[in-house]
A = this chain, B = another copy of it.
């Protein structure tokens, strides 16, 4: 894994795990790599991994059992919370990037709507005409 110098490594590790969870690659209750293993894999100091794990435990995302390992919490609603949080940060970054191109709120809204509409068309088109000439417009 590659780290971005602009943000703390421990935060990137947190996000890495959250994304795995949101994508279903990690299941609630599942054991995650030990601090030492993760540190070796990411080529990072074990203390940095611990910081990430500890913060996630404080947030109720992980549960640690001394001598046994660290586990994804199986608190109900966990997955939903994480997805909402990730969606929020993706959305935020998206809007910042679009605005930096000089787009107005109305333009952003229209572009999103177009893109989603075309996605829908794409699906229905595919259903009717699997190998047809149905193409996105841009």
Contact = CB atoms under 8 A, between A and B. Distances in A.
Interface of A: 2, 4-5, 22-23, 58, 83-84, 86-88, 90-92, 94-95, 97-98, 100-103, 105, 108-109, 111-113, 115-116, 119-120, 138
15 contacts: A22-B100, A23-B101, A58-B58, A83-B101, A83-B103, A87-B111, A88-B138, A90-B94, A90-B97, A91-B98, A91-B112, A91-B115, A94-B112, A108-B112, A109-B112
A109 B105 contact: no
A121 to B, nearest CB: 11
Contacts of A98: 87, 90-91
Copies held by the complex: 4
Q: Which of A23, A90, A109 has the most CB of B within 10 A?
A: A90
Contact of A103 (B23, B58, B87): B87
- Consensus secondary structure, chain A interface: helix
A48 to B, nearest CB: 13
